[in-house]
Amino acid sequence: MSRIEMVKIMRKKRIQRVIALALMAAIFLSSAISVAALSQAVCIIDGDERVVISTMSSDTDSILEQAGVQLGKDDLVLRNNYTEPYPEIRVYRAFNVTLTADGTTQTKVFTMGDVEDALFRFGVYADANDEVNPPLLTQLEPDMHITVTRWHTVTLKADGETVNVDVPEGTVGAALKYLKVSLAKHDEINVDLSEKVRTEMEIIIDRIYYEDITTHEEIPYKVEATDTLSLYEGETEVTQKGSEGEREIVTRYKYVNGDVVETKILSDKVTKKAVTEQVLVGVRKRGNFTVKASNGVLRDTDGNLVKYSKVITGSCTAYTAEPGAITSTGQVARYGLVAVNPEIIPYGTRLYICNDYGFVYGYAVAADTGGALMANTALVDLYYDNVDVCWQFGRRDLNVYILD
């Protein structure tokens, strides 16, 4: 082959290569233009995340899959092709909302909405008197807890007043706490504190308290009278002055709303005993004559004439003894039985004792003795029923008439 022919062949191959390259370039450019014409930009909004992707697909699920967005069972997807500058695909994630109302609590799944929407889905109605928390126009959030509190108008009678008040649903105890009404230890209420409040319920509180009051009462003293021949009829003598005693009484008063409804004696004790007054009452008859004696004849104060064998004048004393005491002659000591020295005046001797100055002991019998008499320091020891009378008598000179 000649050089010229070889050059022609090589030129021909070069031209073919150029044509092939040009043809390939034309085909590639045409394909790129076609792909660009078929793709679109889409904005995907998933919560706070926003991404724009270019896709040739028109299927929402495919676009989300292309963008790597995974959907939950209850998630909600909304697409809007008319937003600018790109169509939008919004993903609303599902979440739980809990509602407590009318004593029950329930949970539902939501993807959007506000509290009012939630109440509608739960089938719960709230009127103007009810309290909804959070408020109705609050947007729902994951794990939101909505409470509906019902209010009731009740009548409260306490502390002298009757009022109609609105209280939230719940127990009577909770309602009283809301109203800042407290119960004291003994207060009584007509309903149980654990009972649920209801409209037109009447709550009555009786304020009850107790008061212990200590009082003192006087105990009158008694008067005991003892007959005595040492005094004339109509004469009395107090030998022991009486005095009042005292009683301490503790009384418990029960008050209901300020009024006393019950009293109870807690204790009643004598703190001071009364002292009985002892009084001697004269039974000795008073005559119209004074005592006179002469020539063995004595006229007593009643005018009676009695004979005496002799008269002894000397210092005399007085004594007393416990009730029931026995004299030396075996007789019970009493007025009119006197103590003597039996060697001077024998036991059983009848006597009349007086003096010249108006003192009269009267008739007596020698029935007892004592140390002073045996020592001859006293002629006669006169018996009286009371020691005070003995002290008043003291020691006196008397005439002792020995009667026949």
* Res 101: pLDDT: 93
* Res 287: pLDDT: 64
AA letter at 322: E
* Res 28: pLDDT: 43
**Omega prior to 134 cis, within 30 of 0:** yes
* Res 31: pLDDT: 41
AA letter at 379: L
Domains of the chain and any CATH numbers = 41-92 (no CATH), 95-149 (3.10.20), 151-206 (3.10.20.90), 211-280 (2.20.230.10), 287-403 (2.40.40.10)
* Res 12: pLDDT: 56
**Global pTM value:** 0.50
Would you give per-residue pLDDT tens digits along the chain (404 residues)? 443 454 344 455 554 554 444 444 444 444 444 444 568 999 999 988 999 999 999 999 999 999 999 999 999 999 999 999 999 999 999 999 999 998 899 999 999 999 999 999 999 998 888 899 999 999 999 999 999 999 999 999 999 999 999 999 999 999 999 999 999 999 999 999 999 999 999 999 999 999 999 999 999 999 999 888 777 777 888 889 999 999 999 999 999 999 999 999 999 999 999 999 999 888 877 666 678 888 999 998 888 999 999 999 999 999 999 989 999 999 999 999 999 999 999 999 999 999 988 888 999 999 999 999 999 999 999 999 888 889 889 999 999 999 98
* Res 14: pLDDT: 52
* Res 232: pLDDT: 75
Helix (H) or strand (E) holding 401: strand 396-403
Half-sphere exposure of 117 (CA within 13 A, CB side): 13
| CA-based nearest residue to 184, from 155, 158, 165, 156 | 158
Task: Extract long-range pairs of 88-93: CB within 8 Å, 24+ residues apart.
Answer: 88/42, 88/43, 88/44, 88/45, 89/42, 89/43, 89/44, 89/45, 89/60, 89/63, 89/64, 90/45, 90/46, 91/44, 91/45, 91/46, 91/47, 91/64, 93/46, 93/47
